[in-house]
């Protein structure tokens, strides 16, 4: 009997197996198989995505800190100076590095606000202890600007005594991160070669010698100042010069150069002169590019004579109705006021002519002026009835703006 029952069970199992094969062959279970395949592909994609996410997470874990400014700097929507401002950062703020692909910008995430965008590399440092305000210093000993602060660094540019630099980060070790006056060149300089006061340069020594000699001999009026011939860089003003001229440009700046030409890439620009900057012309025998001194910069160099004029440009009207070409932007500050300035730079706050507050509007006329830390705009302020320059990082488009 037991043998009989065992045979029945075995037969039932065999029939079930055959029946199962028939189900698969008939195709009734194709949907299940497709689902399993899809789940397998999805799982593989998830694995790839997870691997990519882990790479981004590694990059996003690096902290950077805002430095080189005592004001807010812009987070922009794209890696361009004209990019829309989508956030603001203050000195010491911590951000997470997301991308280093851009030449002049880092893509960052500001976790407290959730804002993700682009910030200029020059104002971010890896060391929280390196954070500082922008500080003007001078080269005290002939030295070089280096690409890194490592032992195998390479020289970017030779720096002469008296060259003005802006310290943007006081990094640990023997080197600090600085920017040159062209607002385009950045690198590392030995902090031991920096001084907060302008050192005596060959030009100032020669000028002092000329004063002494004039007291013991018959005074003469030289055709050129008593400075080394064609010395370029920072120095005291010349005692004599041919004429006083004024820079005038439609947009941007007029370059003060280290040589009497304009090479590709403007690599010889050592200073930026804006409209109405004074220029003392010293020598015109150098062709189109005259040798001169700019008292607003405290520097000697060469500049294109086509942009030098005998008088300043006419002062804009104290009040007017803007034309349709103007853009209306709104002032927003966290505290205090937005300064209206007489020139497109901060200039130790000696050039403030008016004060704007949150909610005030400005009519934007020219957006081309730049310097180390900000982009300044030439605007008309209807609430004050005056023209001037304002920090664009504190202005935002109104609902009627074209931008």
281 compared with 39, residue with greater pLDDT: 281
Task: Give me the DSSP letters along 338-397.
Answer: EEEESSSS-GGGTTEEEEE-TT-EEEEEEEEEE-SS-EEEEEEETTTTEEEEEEGGGEEE
Kindly state the average pLDDT of the residues 391-397: 83
pLDDT (0 to 100) of residue 361: 86
CA-to-CA separations, 301 to 147, 178, 256, in angstroms, rounded: 25, 22, 6
- Distance of alpha carbon 296 from alpha carbon 290, whole angstroms: 17
**Is 2.30.30.40 the CATH number for 134-195?**
yes
Task: Report the candidate in 104, 140, 137 with the shortest Cα–Cα distance to residue 122.
Answer: 104
Structure tokens at 303: 């500049």
The whole model's pTM is what? 0.41
Q: For 223, phi and psi rounded to 5 degrees?
A: -75, -20
Where in the chain are the domains? 63-127, 134-195, 223-309, 327-397
Higher per-residue confidence, 200 vs 331: 331
Longest Cα–Cα distance of the chain, Å, equals 146
Q: What's residue 290's pLDDT?
A: 95
Three-class DSSP category at 2: helix
Q: Which CATH class is domain 327-397?
A: mainly beta
Q: What is the mean pLDDT of residues 271-282?
A: 88
Which residue is it, tokens 């990082």?
393
Q: Is the pLDDT of residue 228 over 70?
A: no
Tell me the HSE value of 102 on the side-chain side, using a 13 A CA sphere. Answer: 20
Q: What is the 3-state secondary structure (H, E, C) of 225-264?
A: CCCCCCCCEECCCCCCCCEEEEECCCCCCEEEECCCCCCC
Looking at domain 223-309, which CATH architecture does it have? Roll (2.30)
Per-residue model confidence (pLDDT) at position 95: 94
Binned at pLDDT 50, 70 and 90, residue 315 comes out as low
The domains spanning 63-127 and 223-309 adopt the same CATH topology: yes
Of 56-70, 95-109, 242-256, give the lowest mean pLDDT range. Answer: 56-70
In this prediction, residues 108-113 reach a mean pLDDT of 92
Is 355 in contact with 337 (CB distance < 8 Å)?
yes
User: How much is the pLDDT for 52?
Assistant: 34
Out of 146-160, 323-337, 339-353, the most confident range is 146-160
Residue 313: what pLDDT? 64
* CA quadruple 143, 147, 152, 155: dihedral sign: negative
CATH number for 63-127: choose from 2.60.120.260, 2.30.30.40, 3.40.50.300, 3.30.420.40.
2.30.30.40
Range of lowest pLDDT (285-289, 295-299, 346-350, 390-394): 346-350
Strand order in the sheet with 164-169: 155-159, 143-146, 186-190, 175-180, 164-169, 135-139, 194-195
Three-state secondary structure call for residue 15? helix
- Position 264 pLDDT exceeds 80: yes
Residue with more model confidence, 228 or 389 = 389
- What angle is formed at CA 354 by the lines to CA 351 and CA 359, rounded to 5 degrees? 135
Count of CB atoms within 10 A of residue 230's CB? 16
**What is the spatial distance between Cα 20 and Cα 9, in angstroms, rounded to a whole number?**
17
Contact status, residue 73 vs residue 123, Cβ threshold 8 Å: yes
**Predicted local confidence at residue 49, as pLDDT:** 30
Give the three-state DSSP class for 3. Answer: helix
Please state the three-class secondary structure of 54-70 as a single string.
HHHHHHHCCEEEECCCC
Report whether pLDDT(227) > 80: no
Confidence grade of residue 266 (pLDDT, cut at 50, 70, 90): confident
Pick from 6-15, 132-141, 254-263: least confident: 6-15
Q: Give pLDDT, residue 348.
A: 66
How far is Cα 343 from Cα 352, in angstroms, rounded to an integer?
A: 9
């Amino acid at each position: 009997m037991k043998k009989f029952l065992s045979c029945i069970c075995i037969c039932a199992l065999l029939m079930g197996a055959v029946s199962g094969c028939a189900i698969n062959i008939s195709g009734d279970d194709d949907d299940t198989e497709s689902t399993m395949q899809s789940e397998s592909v999805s799982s593989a994609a998830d694995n790839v995505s997870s691997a990519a996410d882990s790479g981004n997470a590694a990059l996003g874990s690096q902290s950077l800190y805002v430095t080189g400014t005592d004001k807010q700097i812009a987070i922009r929507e794209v890696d361009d100076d004209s990019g829309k401002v989508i956030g603001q950062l203050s000195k010491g703020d911590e951000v997470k590095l997301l991308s280093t692909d851009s030449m002049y910008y880092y893509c960052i995430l500001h976790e407290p606000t959730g804002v993700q965008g682009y910030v200029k590399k020059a104002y971010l440092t890896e060391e929280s202890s390196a954070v500082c305000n922008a500080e003007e210093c001078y080269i005290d000993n002939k030295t070089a600007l280096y690409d890194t602060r490592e032992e195998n660094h390479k020289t970017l540019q030779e720096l002469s005594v008296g060259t003005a630099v802006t310290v943007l980060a006081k990094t640990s070790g023997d080197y600090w991160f600085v920017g040159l006056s062209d607002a385009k060149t950045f690198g590392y300089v030995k902090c031991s070669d920096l001084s907060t006061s302008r050192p005596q340069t060959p030009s100032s020594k020669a000028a002092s010698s000329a004063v002494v000699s004039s007291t013991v001999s018959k005074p003469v009026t030289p055709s050129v100042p008593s400075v080394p011939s064609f010395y370029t860089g920072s120095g005291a003003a010349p005692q004599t010069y041919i004429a006083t001229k004024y820079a005038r440009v439609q947009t941007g700046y007029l370059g003060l150069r280290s040589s009497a030409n304009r090479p590709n890439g403007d690599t010889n620009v050592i200073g930026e002169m804006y409209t109405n900057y004074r220029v003392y012309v010293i020598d015109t025998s150098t062709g189109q590019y005259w040798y001169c001194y700019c008292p607003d910069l405290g520097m000697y160099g060469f500049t294109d004579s086509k942009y030098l004029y005998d008088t300043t440009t006419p002062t804009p009207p104290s009040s007017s109705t803007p034309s349709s070409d103007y853009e209306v932007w709104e002032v927003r500050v966290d505290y205090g006021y937005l300064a209206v300035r007489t020139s497109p730079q901060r200039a130790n706050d000696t050039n403030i002519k008016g004060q704007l507050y949150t909610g005030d509007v400005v009519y934007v006329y020219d957006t081309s002026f730049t310097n180390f830390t900000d982009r300044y705009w030439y605007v008309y302020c209807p609430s004050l009835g005056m023209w001037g320059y304002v920090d664009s990082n504190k202005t935002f488009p109104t609902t009627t703006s074209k931008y």
